[in-house]
């Protein structure tokens, strides 16, 4: 599967910098963040496309007041989303600027009108947010656009994840990526359960990845070792600018370090290989082999005193030692000589 020109099977880990609310209401900050994400080595910048009115109701009833131990407890949903949203009139400039730099750009639509709006920009993919996975009509409509569809699974039951996958496939869209996600902001390490990442791929027959809300960069690096092909992390120019998502976002230095750590991890993982590379072959000189440890005259028996397994590795393989011991030398051998008996 490809997202834009990035092949998820051969090109490594697709790293997404999540802009979210980290523009803090400034178009210039949004543009600067895109540039910084590009400079950090992110493969894509991701927006969120909604308005307060497409997400919730402007209602003061208790149900619409945030609670439950979040960063935003006590605030009204409508007010939070009104503050955090990315103005739709910015989108063209953001898409154009990202593409001029060479970094991919796409968005998370939160309702059908957002999908229709985003289609004019021909995004390389769509993302379904964790809290929208249960909005089956949104999943269906987004999948119908036949772009790769990335779905966070944070709040979903296993049956709801299966429903979402089935909905996409029923639309004829098999370009599905499921992101393991802990929908807590920030997410405690002990709740990460990263072993779910390979299980998502195995259970649902899709590509899996990780949308990370933990603090720091350990979790996404570990996720890559477990097979995550997509990593999504909130990105901010500088946490000092504040904003709704600042506390659990990485700044430029941290994000750059994460990208480097992931790329280093990819090199370390490599592939399953028992091939003898030139470096391995050369290093075999330091392995053990059989050497003459004491002058041996023709007719003498080979023993543990005169034949030993030592470094370097130019002599006979040590596996032959037991076969050699007790045999009679058919010629003279000199101390320090590579043992390569004509008997073998």
Per-residue pLDDT reduced to its tens digit, 93-112: 999 999 999 999 999 999 99
Q: How many domains does the chain have?
A: 2
Residues 19 and 158 in one domain: yes
Considering the entire predicted model, what is its pTM?
A: 0.88
Give me the percent of the chain exceeding a pLDDT of 90. Answer: 84
- Report the alpha-carbon distance of residue 181 to residue 219 in Å, rounded: 11
Band (pLDDT 50/70/90 cuts) for residue 69 is: confident
Q: Which of 9, 18, 26 is nearest to 44 (CA)?
A: 18
In a domain, residue 136? The reply is yes
Q: Give the model confidence (pLDDT) of 143-192 as tens digits.
A: 999 999 999 998 899 999 999 999 999 999 999 999 999 877 788 889 99
**If you average pLDDT over every residue of the chain, what do you get?**
94
Instruction: Point out the domain boundary residue: 225, 246, 269.
Output: 269
Instruction: Point out the domain boundary residue: 269, 301, 324.
Output: 269
In a domain, residue 44? The reply is yes
Q: Quick check: 277 pLDDT over 70?
A: yes
Domain that holds residue 135: 8-50+85-269
Averaged pLDDT, 15-24: 95
Are 13 and 227 a contacting pair, CB within 8 Å? no
Residues 200 and 290 in one domain: no
What are the C-alpha distances in Å from 46 to residues 9, 22, 38, 116, 330? 21, 11, 12, 17, 77
What are the C-alpha distances in Å from 229 to residues 132, 170, 280? 22, 24, 30
- Report the alpha-carbon distance of residue 333 to residue 322 in Å, rounded: 18
- Report the alpha-carbon distance of residue 322 to residue 309 in Å, rounded: 11
- Report the alpha-carbon distance of residue 154 to residue 130 in Å, rounded: 5
In a domain, residue 279? The reply is no
Any idea what the CATH number is for the domain that residue 90 is in?
3.20.20.70
């Amino acid at each position: 599967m490809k997202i834009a020109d990035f092949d998820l099977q051969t090109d490594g880990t697709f790293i997404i910098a999540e802009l979210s609310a980290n523009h803090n209401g400034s178009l210039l900050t949004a543009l600067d963040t895109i540039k910084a994400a590009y400079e950090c080595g992110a493969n894509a910048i991701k927006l969120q496309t909604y308005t307060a009115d497409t997400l919730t109701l402007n209602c003061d009833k208790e149900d619409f007041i945030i609670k439950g131990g979040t960063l935003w407890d006590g605030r009204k949903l409508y007010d939070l989303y009104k503050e955090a949203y990315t103005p739709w009139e910015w989108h063209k400039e953001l898409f154009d600027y990202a593409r001029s730099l060479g970094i991919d750009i796409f968005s998370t639509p939160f309702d059908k009108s957002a999908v229709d709006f985003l289609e004019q920009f021909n995004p390389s993919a769509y993302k379904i947010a964790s809290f929208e996975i249960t909005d089956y009509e949104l999943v269906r409509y987004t999948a119908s656009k036949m772009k790769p569809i990335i779905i966070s699974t944070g709040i979903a039951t296993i049956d709801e994840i299966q429903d979402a996958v089935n909905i996409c496939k029923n639309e004829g869209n098999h370009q599905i990526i499921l992101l393991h996600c802990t929908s807590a902001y920030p997410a405690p390490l002990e709740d990460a359960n990263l072993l779910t990442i390979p299980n998502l791929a195995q259970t649902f027959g899709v590509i899996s990845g990780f949308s990370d809300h933990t603090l720091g960069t350990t979790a996404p690096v570990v996720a890559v070792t477990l097979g995550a092909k997509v990593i999504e992390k909130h990105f901010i120019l500088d946490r000092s600018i504040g904003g709704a998502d600042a506390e659990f976002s990485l700044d430029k230095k941290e994000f750059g370090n994460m990208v480097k750590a992931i790329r280093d991890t990819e090199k370390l993982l490599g592939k399953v290989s028992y091939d003898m590379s030139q470096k391995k072959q050369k290093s075999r000189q330091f392995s053990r082999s059989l050497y003459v440890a004491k002058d041996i005259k023709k007719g003498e028996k080979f023993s543990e005193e005169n034949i030993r397994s030592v470094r370097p590795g130019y002599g006979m393989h040590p596996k032959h030692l037991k076969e050699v011991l007790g045999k009679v030398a058919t010629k003279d051998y000199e101390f320090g000589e590579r043992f390569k008996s004509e008997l073998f």
